[in-house]
Structures are given as structure tokens and as C-alpha cells.
Amino acid sequence: MSSEPVVSETRVLAIASHVVYGYVGNKMAAFVMQAMGCDVAALNTVQFSTQTQAIHLPSHSRVAACFVSVTDPIPGNHTGYKQFKGTKTSAEEISHLYTGLKQSYLTDFDVMLTGYAPSAEAIDAIGTIARDLKLRASTKAGSFFWVLDPVMGDQGELYVGEDVVAVYRNLLRDADLILPNQFEAELLSEIKITSLTTLQDALATFHKTYRIPHVIITSIQLSNSPSTISVIGSTARADFSPRSFKIDVPAIDCFFSGTGDMFAALTVVRLREAVKGANLSGIKSWISSDDVDAKDLPLAKAAEKVIGSMHAILVKTKEARDQELEGMSGPLGVMEMEEDSEKRLVLRRTKAAEVRVVRCLEDLRSPRTDWKAEALARDEDAEGQEVKKRREQVLEKGEA
Amino acid sequence: MSSEPVVSETRVLAIASHVVYGYVGNKMAAFVMQAMGCDVAALNTVQFSTQTQAIHLPSHSRVAACFVSVTDPIPGNHTGYKQFKGTKTSAEEISHLYTGLKQSYLTDFDVMLTGYAPSAEAIDAIGTIARDLKLRASTKAGSFFWVLDPVMGDQGELYVGEDVVAVYRNLLRDADLILPNQFEAELLSEIKITSLTTLQDALATFHKTYRIPHVIITSIQLSNSPSTISVIGSTARADFSPRSFKIDVPAIDCFFSGTGDMFAALTVVRLREAVKGANLSGIKSWISSDDVDAKDLPLAKAAEKVIGSMHAILVKTKEARDQELEGMSGPLGVMEMEEDSEKRLVLRRTKAAEVRVVRCLEDLRSPRTDWKAEALARDEDAEGQEVKKRREQVLEKGEA
């Protein structure tokens, strides 16, 4: 493993949740970015004892479906700590903390990464911070970049109040890159994604209507195979049309929390690295010129590395989890008998699946890039190719 | 740099302050321990925008004098962000967060590291958590270890209310290792440390009166040379007498914040590593048998590595700071003219001296150990040696 920091000096303001135990929100994102060399200012929007998300149970915490398939080899796929304690940071407190930074001239951030906030007001306060930082950086193109992870829900369930959706829509115009999952992309674009065409329509809406330069939809099921999921990305062309790519990744049969936050943090680092390599650091919103193909975009190159890191770490986490759960198959101890054993099992399973990011520094820093970006076709194109192929087959048969 | 985690699987509960910007408290300690492979549960006792400490200005935040001499080459040695915003976590909230962990059976910590808390009540709540964890681990010797950094003040100034001193004294009996600076050691032991004898008396008080197995006084000026500071450690013998060592380290001519927290976090990792190497993990409080010399204690071996990491990182931080401050010598920009330039300079100097821990992963993980522990003599012994030496010189002269 190289001992050098992965990125050049990078100052990030990360605004997201904090949990005492486990790895979601800023607890995940700050460590990932720091381990790769970023100087991270971490403004925590809540302090909770644990993450609280359970599959199918709407709740506060970000649990990206990325790299997850929802079948679980262990009977009963519910996970999550269910009970949690803690406090939310109010919109006013968030604004005050930022005022504290301003008073000490600590506003020279290169990147801002925002994730979960507990109310529409808090999200609005975060938007105000983003606009202020953008304004301060406006004299120097490319010197500030906002990565917005619009944490609202997953798999058709909202974690947040319905008023949050409109607040996020209002912020989109100021973001440089958004990282919705499929459900969030649908909420924001108001387009139900059921095909390549509707997917491209959603991307076009983000680029054209909301003027967002870069989009990654962190997880989407495109093929019929449940063993493959796709990451979709696009950087707008000069005419705001999508320039989209996809990366197919093998799904891992386990439910993890914090993967969305890991994805976002890795993306900050790898995009900054790729943009520097492409000499785009001084270009507004780091947008590649139109002659760059989708699969060669810095966003695509970054996503390949992000996925390489994530896949390796999640595979190791699952291995460790399976080992841990195997060790549980013996007779239950005294405490187990005292308690509802089903509840206890769910908690153990949740704990065992905490992403082992602190044990996987090399996978963060030196990922393999086995999964490559390819240009994303529209349904029409795909169908067109299919028709062409069939016609050729017919011709071949006729000739034979 | 080796890609393997530095320590075996280690679960740490870290209770200390959180700052959005900069590296003190848990912001420093959690990252350091995570980067070396620890799974860290971080319970934050405050969320402030920045650290607030200024030399000679008593305030909340931990700024260890460790590795610091207070002369500064730049005229006016005041540093610190002065203005800060944020909120304290109440004693009740701290207790609630711990209840949240208990409800999810997340109490299997190997180590607890506690630092700054904003009130006597909060410190008391932390003590209750420590006692509960100790009780839970009591059936398995060595399975839980509490590192208590009694953050109260430095250089004769209290950062905290006077009621805090008595609360800490009450907690000492439950700690396995305490990490006071000289001022805090004096407050807790009620012994003014002015000589090797009084230093040994303070150590004896911790071991004998408070039954604390291990003590490190993180910074003390023993020699007359301001360019050397000493780290003093001791592990009690079976009769609770001190078995003390010192490590002399070159002082770095710069004021850093968060060094106490870095020291504590590194000590957790390196002590755990050394204790494992010495096969003491299953021994209550990881105490070496009486036949182990002071300089060979796991505590001494750990401190050597801690100091190696810290010295390397602080030297690099100072180099970067000096470079940054040199760049400031040009004409002031528009913003500077608008503001009180002296205030602005102090803020810049403070920012420039933020410890560059995220850029120095290799120094954390693979330190040089140039500074070695040696047994600490009492004044009597030292004087005895001095008398003997002079007598020999007289004899030599007589013979010549």
C-alpha cells in the first residue's frame, strides 16, 4: 500500500448524521475521506446511539440499496437496531456552527458533501451554507464543488417528512453532483424509472430542468438478473443533454448500512483525483468538454474506483458477518434466554453486518477496478440493435 | 507501509469533544484509532465549531503541552480561534446515548477512552458508564480497560469548573490508566511536582492511594534545557510502588492543539499491541509481573511508539505551518484590510498549526522509535550518583 495520501490537499465540509456506534452518515464519510488524505470539517446533523434503519421500516437513517439485494440467506431479513437514543441538531444550531467557522475565516473548502439532515428546516439551512460557500468561491472557477446526497428514502419508503422533497428540489440548482438512489431520483425528477428511456428522461430532467452538471444514481436494477445491479452516471454536455454511463456490479447478498455514505465519500476523493488528472480543476463544476465520451468521463473513472473499493470491503464484511453468525448457532447464553431471542438475533445480525471500513484501509486506498463504465444506450437504441441483430440472423439462415 | 491493521480487532468507546473544524478531542482521537484499525464508538460531549483554546487563556478545549514549548518564533504567541459556536451534550444526553447502546447489546468494548466533558455532571455520567462496563466485563480478566484523560487544564490554568477536580478524584479508582499533564497530575495528587522526588511521590499517590495500575504524565520539564521535555510513565508493582520510566523528547517550537488527544489515542493502540505481545491481555488491568523492569514495561514500549509517531507528525505540521505563514508575508488582501489584521493573523496562525494527522498515515502506523524509555531515578539516587561521580573525579585528580 502506498503511504502517500490518495488525494492532493482537499478541504471538505461534510454535513450529515453522527452515530456513536457503527458506520453511517458522517461517521462513515468522514473516516473514509480522512483515511485518503482529506481534511474533513464534520458538522453533525444528529447524534444518535446507532443507525436506526430496518429493511421495509421507514426511519431516519440512510441505508443505500447500493450493492444490496434484499434476499437474505438467513430466515427473516429484518435488520436494524430498532431502538435508539440521541438528539437532533436544529436548523438554528447548524447555522450557528457555520457562523462559528465564518468568524474564524474557515470557509476555504474545496468540496462540500451533504447527507442526512433531520428536518426540512435543517436541509434549508444546509442549502444556505452551500450558497454562501458557492458565492465566496465564485471568483475562482472550479474552486468549490457541492456533492449533494439527497437522503430521503429507499425502496419506495420515505425516511423523512414529505415537505423535504420540495426543499431538496429547491436546492438542486446549486448542486454540482447529486447522488440519489433510484427512489430518490424518481421523487426529485417526478419520473418513474421503469426502462432505459425513463432513466434517460430522469437524467435529462436533472441536467436540463435543474441544471445539475453531474448525476450518479447509486443503484438501479436494469437487467432481469437479481445478481447484478447498475450504477448510472452522467455529466451534462454543453446543451445539457445527458452523457450517461453504467457500471454493472455483482450484487452482494446481504444488507449493509452506510453504503450510500461510503459511496459519497469515495466519490468525493476519486472525482477530485480524476478531475485533477483531466486538468479540469479550474473549470466551473469540473465539466468535461463535449468531445469526451461518457465512459471516459472523470465521473466514470471515479465511479470505477469507488465501486472497486466498495465491492472489496463489502465482500470482506459479509465474510466476517457470516463467520460471526455461524458462531452464534450454538446454545444461547443466559442473556439470550432472558430476552426475546428473535429480537436479540436481529440485533446481532445488524451488528455483524456493520461495514468493516476501519479494517480495510488498503481496499479504500488501492482498489481494483474490475468493473468498467460503458456508455448507456436508450431503449430505442437497444431495441434498434436487437431488431438489426434478428434481421442479420434471418439473413444468415436464408443464406445457409 | 504495511496494509494490515496495526492492532488486532479492538472495540473502543471514545467519549470526548467534537469540533467541526480541526483536530482535537474525538475528532483527533477517533480518526487516529480508526486509521490503525480500531472500531471506534464515538460519543461526543460537545459539538463546537472549532477548538477554543488559546495559550494563557483558560477555556474549554484540551491543548496538551506535550511536545510544546511556549516560546514562538513569531512575535505574539497567542493562538486559538477565540470565537466559537456550538452546544454541549448534557449529562442526561450522555447517559441516554449509552442506554441506546445497552438496549442494542453494544457494550462489548475492549477499551474506553475518555477525554474532555463540559461539566462535573457530565464527567460523573461518564464515570457511571465506565463502572457499568467494568462490571459487565468483570467475569473475564483483562477484557475491559479504561484510559482516563482527566482534562482539566494546563500550565497552571483550569479549563473547567473547580468542582470537576473532586469528581475526577472520585473516578480515579476505576481507571486502569490515567494520562494527566503535569498540572492535572498536581491537581489530582495534591502534590506540587518540583523535583524527581515529588514526581515519584505523585506517582506513588496514584498507585497507592487511588490504586491506579498505570500512569503516564504526558509532559513535564525535568531538565533545565527548554529544548527537552519528558514523558513519565509508571506501572504499579504488586506492592503498589511506582515502577517508573521517562522518555526525553526534543521539544518542538510551536503551539499545537489536540496533541493530548493524539497521545491518548495512540496510547490505546500501542498499549493494546504491546500487552498482546507480552501475553498480558488476560491479566487484570494488564499489569506486568514484578520482574519486568520499568523500561521494558508494555507501557514504556507503547510510549516509545506513541512518541515516535507524534514527533514525526508534529515536525511535518510545523514545516507546513512555517511554509503557510511565509506565504502570508506579502501584502494583505481586501478582506485583511477590512478586518483587524492582528486578529486575522492569530486565526491564520492557529489554522496553519492544525495537526496534519490525515496527511501522515504512515507516521501513525509505522513510527520510528528513536527515543527510548529509561528507568526514572529518585532525586536521592540522582544526587547519590552525582556525589559518587564527583568523588571519583577528585580521586582521579589526586592520582594525576
Residues of A whose CB is below 8 A from B106: 21, 49-50, 81, 351
- Confidence check: pLDDT of B345 > 90: no
pLDDT score recorded for residue A4: 85
Residues of B whose CB is below 8 A from A97: 20, 47-49, 85-86
Task: Give the pLDDT band (50/70/90) at residue B342.
Answer: confident
Strand order in the sheet with B86-88: B86-88, B39-48, B11-19, B111-114, B145-148, B177-178, B214-220, B228-235, B244-250, B374-375
**Cβ contact (<8 Å) for A49 and B82?**
no
- The answer, for A394 touching chain B at a CB cutoff of 8 Å, is no
Choose from A27, A92, A97, A354 for mutation: most chain B CBs within 10 A: A97
- The answer, for A20 touching chain B at a CB cutoff of 8 Å, is yes
| Cα–Cα distance measured from residue B162 to residue B335, given in angstroms and rounded to the nearest whole number | 41
Instruction: Using the structure block, give the residue that is written with the C-alpha cell 515529588.
Output: B198
pLDDT score recorded for residue A341: 80
**Cβ contact (<8 Å) for B18 and A84?**
no
**Cβ contact (<8 Å) for A104 and B21?**
yes
| Cα–Cα distance measured from residue A318 to residue A356, given in angstroms and rounded to the nearest whole number | 9
How high does pLDDT run on average in chain B?
87
Residues of A whose CB is below 8 A from B3: 1, 361-362, 366
Q: What is the DSSP code (8-state) at residue A142?
A: T
- Residue A314's identity, in one-letter code, is L
Residues of A whose CB is below 8 A from B14: none
Question: Burial letters for A191-224: b for 16+ Cβ neighbours within 10 Å, e otherwise?
Answer: bebeebbebbbbbbbbbeebebbbbbbbbbebee
CB A242 within 8 A of CB A233: no
| Cα–Cα distance measured from residue A243 to residue A215, given in angstroms and rounded to the nearest whole number | 10
Kindly give the interhelix angle for A259-277 and A298-326, rounded to the nearest 10 degrees: 150
Kindly give the interhelix angle for A163-171 and A120-136, rounded to the nearest 10 degrees: 10
Interface subset of B 281-300, CB within 8 angstroms of A = none
Spell out the SS3 assignment of chain B: CCCCCCCCCCEEEEEEEEECCCCCHHHHHHHHHHHCCCEEEEEEEEEECCCCCECCECCCCCCCCCCECCCCCCCCCCCCCCCCCEEECCHHHHHHHHHHHHHCCCCCCCEEEECCCCCHHHHHHHHHHHHHHHHHCCCCCCCCEEEECCCCEECCEECCCCHHHHHHHHHHHHCCEECCCHHHHHHHHCCCCCCHHHHHHHHHHHHHHCCCCEEEEEEECCCCCCCEEEEEEEECCCCCCCCEEEEEEECECCCCCCHHHHHHHHHHHHHHHHHHHCCCCCCHHHCCCCCCCHHHCHHHHHHHHHHHHHHHHHHHHHHHHHHHHHHHHCCCCHHHHHCCHHHHHHHHHHHHCCCCHHHCHHHHHCCCCCCCCEECCCHHHHHHHHHHHHHHHHHHHHHC
CB A356 within 8 A of CB A320: yes
| Cα–Cα distance measured from residue B136 to residue A385, given in angstroms and rounded to the nearest whole number | 66
| Cα–Cα distance measured from residue B225 to residue B234, given in angstroms and rounded to the nearest whole number | 23
CB B130 within 8 A of CB B113: no
Residues of B whose CB is below 8 A from A101: 20-21, 49-50
How far is B213 from chain A, CA to nearest CA, in Å?
Answer: 28
- The answer, for A47 touching chain B at a CB cutoff of 8 Å, is yes
A97: nearest CB among B3, B42, B49? B49
- The answer, for A144 touching chain B at a CB cutoff of 8 Å, is no
B101: nearest CB among A21, A44, A96? A21
Cell of B356: 496534519
Query: Residue A18 belongs to what H/E stretch?
Result: strand A11-19
pLDDT score recorded for residue B68: 40
pLDDT score recorded for residue A226: 82
Cell of B14: 471514545
CB B17 within 8 A of CB B45: yes
A97: nearest CB among B31, B34, B85? B85
**How many C-beta atoms surround the C-beta of residue B201 within 10 A?**
16
Chain A and chain B share a number of CB contacts under 8 A equal to 175
Residue numbers in chain A where pLDDT is lower than 70: 1-2, 53-79, 329-339, 378-400
pLDDT score recorded for residue A76: 38
| Cα–Cα distance measured from residue A383 to residue B94, given in angstroms and rounded to the nearest whole number | 59
Complete DSSP assignment for A214-258: EEEEEEE--SS-TTEEEEEEEE--TTS---EEEEEEE-BSS--SS
**Cβ contact (<8 Å) for A358 and B86?**
no
Strand order in the sheet with A11-19: A86-88, A39-48, A11-19, A111-114, A145-148, A177-178, A214-220, A228-235, A244-250, A374-375
CB A179 within 8 A of CB A132: no
| Cα–Cα distance measured from residue B9 to residue B268, given in angstroms and rounded to the nearest whole number | 13
- The answer, for B20 touching chain A at a CB cutoff of 8 Å, is yes
| Cα–Cα distance measured from residue A382 to residue A391, given in angstroms and rounded to the nearest whole number | 14
Cell of B52: 477554543
**Cβ contact (<8 Å) for A1 and B3?**
yes
CA angle, B304 as apex, B205 and B210 as ends, to 5°? 15
pLDDT score recorded for residue A345: 87
Domains of chain A, CATH where assigned: 11-399 (3.40.1190.20)
pLDDT score recorded for residue B187: 98
Helices (H), chain A: 25-35, 91-103, 120-136, 163-171, 182-189, 196-204, 259-277, 298-326, 334-338, 341-352, 361-365, 379-399
Secondary structure (3-state) at A45: strand
Cell of B330: 506579502
Cα-Cα end-to-end distance for chain B: 56
pLDDT score recorded for residue A57: 31
Least confident of A203-207, B64-68, B331-335, B355-359: B64-68
CB B379 within 8 A of CB B196: yes
A82-121, pLDDT tens digit by residue? 788 999 999 999 999 999 999 999 999 999 999 999 999 9
CA distances to A150, A351, B190, B328 from A62, in Å: 10, 16, 50, 42
Nearest-CA residue of chain A relative to B81?
A104
**Cβ contact (<8 Å) for A104 and B49?**
yes
- The answer, for A31 touching chain B at a CB cutoff of 8 Å, is yes
- The answer, for B100 touching chain A at a CB cutoff of 8 Å, is yes
B100-122, pLDDT tens digit by residue? 999 999 999 999 999 999 999 99
Write down how long chain A is.
400
| Cα–Cα distance measured from residue A368 to residue A304, given in angstroms and rounded to the nearest whole number | 9
Torsion on CA atoms A319, A324, A330, A335, rounded to nearest 10: -160
- The answer, for B347 touching chain A at a CB cutoff of 8 Å, is yes
- The answer, for A361 touching chain B at a CB cutoff of 8 Å, is yes
pLDDT score recorded for residue B70: 33
pLDDT score recorded for residue A205: 98
pLDDT score recorded for residue B58: 30
Instruction: Using the structure block, give the residue that is written with the C-alpha cell 439462415.
Output: A397
CB A87 within 8 A of CB A141: no
- The answer, for A40 touching chain B at a CB cutoff of 8 Å, is yes
CB B292 within 8 A of CB B373: no
Cell of A104: 474564524
Choose from A3, A358, A368 for mutation: most chain B CBs within 10 A: A358
CB A94 within 8 A of CB A112: no
**Cβ contact (<8 Å) for A34 and B82?**
no
What phi and psi values does residue A375 have, to the nearest 5 degrees?
A: -60, 145
**How many C-beta atoms surround the C-beta of residue B165 within 10 A?**
19
Mean pLDDT of B293-316: 98
**Cβ contact (<8 Å) for B84 and A106?**
no
**Cβ contact (<8 Å) for B358 and A5?**
yes
Least confident of A199-213, A350-364, B60-74, B143-157: B60-74
| Cα–Cα distance measured from residue A393 to residue B347, given in angstroms and rounded to the nearest whole number | 73
Residues of A whose CB is below 8 A from B359: 5, 9, 37, 39
- The answer, for A135 touching chain B at a CB cutoff of 8 Å, is no
A100: nearest CB among B37, B40, B49? B49
**Cβ contact (<8 Å) for A99 and B106?**
no
| Cα–Cα distance measured from residue A315 to residue A251, given in angstroms and rounded to the nearest whole number | 10
A152-197, pLDDT tens digit by residue? 999 899 989 999 999 999 999 999 999 999 999 999 999 999 999 9
Mean pLDDT of B344-350: 89
pLDDT score recorded for residue A392: 59
How far is A99 from chain B, CA to nearest CA, in Å?
Answer: 7
A38: nearest CB among B35, B101, B358? B358
How far is A386 from chain B, CA to nearest CA, in Å?
Answer: 47
Least confident of A183-187, B336-340, B362-366: B336-340
